[in-house]
Amino acid sequence: MNRWLVTLLLFFAIFAVVINPVMAEDNLEILSPPDMASVGGRIINIVCKINQDSLDTIRVSSNYEYAEPQPVKPVAARNTLRQSLLLKEGKNKIKIQGLKAGKVVEEKVLSVFRRFSFSMDYVTPPPGFKEYFFHTPKNEERCRLCHENELRKGAKSQQDEHLPACYTCHKRIMDIEKAHGPAAVWACDQCHMESSEQRTYGVPVPAVTVCRICHTEAPDKWQSEPYGHAPTITGKCTICHDPHGSDETFFIKRESTDLCTICHADKLKYPHVITTKSGMGHPVKLGPERYFGKHFSCASCHNPHAENNPYLLVNYNGSKLEFCNNCHR
């Protein structure tokens, strides 16, 4: 009796899935990125395949950002949708929901790790995460049906034919105050020029190889100085500078002192430079309201690239008093 009951219940469960696609778990398929992906960028594109008969809205969110729900349009190319999302450093939980008439029909959850070279906690992903690049020959072959992949061609779905195909998916990188020259005009092929079987549109290593194309004199001058900053000596310009742009001057990834103290954290914990009788050291971060209308940072005294003086001191001639007098006249 129990056997017949179990068989009957199983039959009805299978029958319900077959006749009602809303209940079947094939309404929402994540094409990119895969679960447990390790990436280097701050923006990721979620690409999903949807059942247009069962879903009318896609909602994407993470522990860092909530994206506006995206309606499913009948003309969605080959039943696929894309949504950009910001990532925080480290592990991100991303939730993708497919809705019908305001109700969640299906939900997928991904774990994505964003690598961040400044912190030992985020340099290497935890076990189980694998490095992932969207731009590979295999992925691009699938996208080629709707998108042009060549860097200098406009996308088939792009209204402005003068913009490269990159713009369609990567336009959020320009949500910044100061854009770097090549990125500002979408001349992506000026830097993204290497391709291999594992990855297309890569950037040569070290980054200074590309930077020299425009910045012809400075790298050679810095290399000739007797004292150099580690990122400069190794040619890893993108450790400090965002090659697309940022909200800070010189396209640095954070405010000057906040950037420096990621590696030199002790300068905030202990007295720096000159210790007075009170035990207080020289301040390392002062805003314009406390510094005569100017901004005081590590770069006020230290050259972040290279110098002819120890400790990368700027305008130092061997006299500490005269060096201090540069500001304290």
Span 169-193, pLDDT tens digits = 898 999 999 999 999 989 898 899 8
Looking at residue 298, what is its pLDDT? 87
Looking at residue 23, what is its pLDDT? 42
Single pTM value for the model: 0.79
In whole angstroms, give the CA distance from residue 302 to residue 310: 10
Looking at residue 19, what is its pLDDT? 39
Looking at residue 244, what is its pLDDT? 94
Domain boundaries, the chain: 22-122, 133-203, 245-324
For β-strands 28-32 and 43-50, DSSP reports them as antiparallel
Name the β-bridge partners of 44.
85
For β-strands 306-307 and 28-32, DSSP reports them as unpaired
Query: Using an 8 Å Cβ cutoff, are 33 and 112 in contact?
Result: yes
Strands in the chain per DSSP E: 28-32, 37-39, 43-50, 57-62, 70-71, 80-86, 90-100, 103-114, 130-131, 178-179, 227-228, 245-246, 306-307
Residues of the chain with pLDDT under 50: 6, 14-24, 157, 159
In whole angstroms, give the CA distance from residue 90 to residue 186: 28
Looking at residue 21, what is its pLDDT? 40
Looking at residue 90, what is its pLDDT? 93
Question: Which residue reads 């209940």 in tokens?
Answer: 23
Looking at residue 169, what is its pLDDT? 86
CATH topology of domain 22-122: Immunoglobulin-like (2.60.40)
Query: Using an 8 Å Cβ cutoff, are 149 and 143 in contact?
Result: yes
Strand ranges of the sheet holding 80-86, from the earlier edge strand across to the other edge: 28-32, 43-50, 80-86
Pair of tokens at residue 161: 């034919």
Looking at residue 11, what is its pLDDT? 53
Pair of tokens at residue 70: 């995206």
Looking at residue 166, what is its pLDDT? 86
